Structure 1
Amino acid sequence: MSDRLAEEYDAARPRLVRVAYAILGSHAEAEDVVADCWLRLVEADRRDPVRDVLGWSTVAVSRAALDVLRSARLRRERYVGPWLPEPVVTPAVAAAGDPAERVTLDESVRYALLVVLEQLSPAERTAWVLHDLFGMAFPEVAAAVGRSPAAVRQLASRARRHVAERTPRVDVDRSAHDRVAAAFAVAAAGGDLAALVRTLDPEVVLTGDGGGVVNAARRPVLGPDRVARFVLGTLRRTAAGTGRSVVVEVNGATGFAVVEEDGHVSTVLSLTVDDDRVTRVDIVRAPDKLAGIALGASS
């Protein structure tokens, strides 16, 4: 194994993890796929030196992630309650700190987009992610998906229409998102039902994922009044326990987390904002999806 190969793969690793994560919706599985593909790269390089490490690895990681997604579909169909993607959570202070860290957060795959991608077939999702999100040419996408360039073009086109129909109508900038999130947080923390309702879109949807292990909404909660009451009830239960609510980055956008005394995160709340209102509230409580997050123990 050459030092060049290791250096180029390490440089490519952040992008490869983002590609796999966008396809899978699970950061832990994405990390596993990228680690496995390193071993495949070493073996391939021994047989015939790999000149374009990033290109080779992107196709290999995408193909492996697609295989994992196909096998995971059956498990997700049997999942207890709604299945939500695994969030990537970082301390909110990172956003105002190192500019390099800000770039990393801005390149995050947005949580609301991951939720929409769950509605696509594995092949559609992979084709759209590789072409529309990461700018790969259709011949490269075809190599990853295992179909012709014409076929993956059609897959990406169908996925594009679906994504366009279900994502926010406008591209909400960070300041607008933060303004709405702050109003949501103040109303929720103060137990102000009317103020919290005012932050919510008339068609707001709340989805909870407890994985059948912890309490969570088994069905989507619809409408501003019901969503607001559910959020306030969740906060009351949190206040009665040992956790504390903190502002965090959820996939690069301001969200909230409940941190327990030992430092582990028990709840992550992601907001989707459109036209100055919250259109989605996604609450992840499944322990296996939060196991890798640590934000510091309560003081």
Structure 2
Amino acid sequence: MIDAMPTDDAFIEHRRLLFATAYRMLGTVTDAEDVLQDAWLKWHATDQSTVQHPKSYLVRTVTNLSLNRLTSARATRETYVGPWLPEPLLTTPNIAEDTELADTVSTAMLVVLETLNPVERAVFVLREVFGYTHAEIADTLDKPEATIRQIAHRARAHVQSRRPRFDTDTAERAHVTEQFMSACAGGDLNALMDLLAPDVTSWSDGGGVVTAARRPLYGPDHVARWVLGVLAKPTVAGVELTSAHINGELGTLASIGGNPVAAFTYDLVDGRIQNLRFQVNPSKLKGLYLDPGTVA
């Protein structure tokens, strides 16, 4: 297991970077950890004395393993029950304070990255998130540098055209989050509707396992009624709502008996919630248990 690796291993030294790379490539904590396990096995099956640059070697290994997994995952996601959302990940408050870094791990960004093909996603993550040169990426993906430049340009334009606009005022976000939790806890339909933008859209990911809307919901009335309806079900009796830093932004964590059962993330535009994402699939909540200081 990875936890049993010696502390002086180069893999341990770069583990956080490797996880961050795999997570942004795949959008799931489970797959990212599987990739790291496979990368560790490859690393320890290699004659490490022949590796001049362990960090580059490991990033290349993780990137290519992620590419292989992402290619097969795309076919699986085509038959996914209801909307597919990334796995939420607890992050430290200092990530939220770094607007640029928070954006790269935000749920909104991960959703946009899903619209790229696997190679475009790899190039975008390595170039725009981690600042690798085109030459370094070309070496990692074994492609001509000119090709990488073209892919990088295309991927950047694609992401910029689809990246949602949102407010970055942390105080405003904290205020709206508190109001959101209060309205939900009190079952106050009008108060919740007041927090939602006129063109609000809500996505919920239950994976066909638990209650979730199979299609996006539109408009304050539909979204608010659905959220309160879910929270009023007997199966979520005793649910506790708390604010938490999720994917680099302040969001809402729903727990029962101290165990996370759902995560609300959203985009805040002009002081109102515009895109609300509700992750409730039990198999996609692992990132809510991880130590925020060891990931992203």
- Asked if TM exceeds 0.5, the reply is yes
- Matched to 1:25, the amino acid is G
Gaps spanning 5+ residues in structure 1: where?
96-101
Give the partner amino acid of 1:158. R
Name which of structure 1's ranges 246-255 and 121-130 shifts more when overlaid on structure 2: 246-255
Residues 5 and 144 (structure 1 numbering): CA distance in 2 closer, same or farther, change over 3 Å?
A: farther
Three-state SS of the structure 1 residue aligned to 2:9 is helix
> What secondary structure, in the 3-state scheme, does the structure 1 residue paired with 2:215 have?
coil
Distance of 1:144 and 1:138 partners within structure 2: 10
TM-score, structure 1 normalization: 0.85
1:272 maps to 267
1:86 paired residue number = 87
Counterpart for residue 52 of structure 1: 53
Using the alignment, how far apart are the partners of 2:112 and 2:173 within structure 1? Answer: 19
Q: Distance in 2 between matches of 1:207 and 1:257?
A: 16
| C-alpha separation in 1, matches of 2:183 and 2:164 | 23
The residue aligned with 2:108 is: 112
Given residue 45 of structure 2, which amino acid in structure 1 is its aligned partner?
E
Aligned equivalents of 2:95, 2:249: Cα separation in 1: 12
- Distance of 1:70 and 1:110 partners within structure 2: 22
Q: Is the 8 A contact 2:181 2:241 kept in 1?
A: no
**Preserved CA contact (<8 Å) 2:236 2:256:** no
What percentage of aligned pairs have identical amino acids?
39
2:277 to 266, 274, 282: 282
Describe the shift of the 1:192–1:260 C-alpha distance in structure 2 as closer, same or farther (beyond 3 A).
closer
Please tell me the residue identity of whatever aligns with 2:274.
T
- Identify if the C-alpha distance between structure 1 residues 4 and 269 changes in structure 2 by more than 3 Å, giving closer, same or farther: closer
Q: Deviations over 1:120-157 (max 9, x none)?
A: 11111111111011111112222333432222222222
Counterpart residue number, 1:217: 213
Q: Distance in 1 between matches of 2:224 and 2:53?
A: 51
Deviations 1:137-191 (A, max 9, x none): 1122223334322222222222222222222335614223222222322333333
**1:156 to 1:173, Cα distance in 2 relative to 1, 3 A:** farther
Q: Distance in 2 between matches of 1:70 and 1:41?
A: 22
Counterparts of 2:273 and 2:47 in 1: how far apart (Å)?
49
1:195 is aligned, of 188, 191, 197, to 191
Paired residue for 2:23, among 21, 24, 45? 21
Contact 2:88 2:247 in 1 (8 A): yes
Q: 2:127, 2:287 → 1: CA distance?
A: 29
The reply on whether 1:251 has 2:247 as its aligned counterpart is yes
User: Does the residue aligned with 1:44 lie in a helix, a strand or coil?
Assistant: coil
Matches of residues 159-170 of structure 1 in structure 2 within 5 Å? Answer: 159-170=155-166
SS in 2 for 1:78: coil
Q: Counterparts of 2:251 and 2:170 in 1: how far apart (Å)? A: 12
8 Å CA contact retained: 2:167, 2:267: no
What residue number does 2:12 align with? Answer: 10
- Alpha-carbon spacing, 1:81–1:61, altered in 2? closer, same or farther (3 Å): same
Once residues 136 and 176 of structure 1 are traced to their aligned partners in structure 2, the CA distance between those partners, rounded to angstroms, is 34
Contact 2:177 2:250 in 1 (8 A): yes
CA RMSD, 1 decimal: 2.5
* Alignment deviations for residues 189-228 of structure 1 (CA, whole Å, 9 cap, x no partner): 3333233222222222110111111110100011222112
Q: CA deviation at 1:35?
A: 2.2
CA distance in 1, matches of 2:68, 2:61: 11
Moved more, 18-27 or 202-211: 202-211
Does structure 1 conserve the Cα–Cα contact (< 8 Å) formed by 2:167 and 2:268? no
Counterpart secondary structure, 2:88: coil
Indicate conservation of the 8 Å contact 2:87/2:287, yes or no.
no
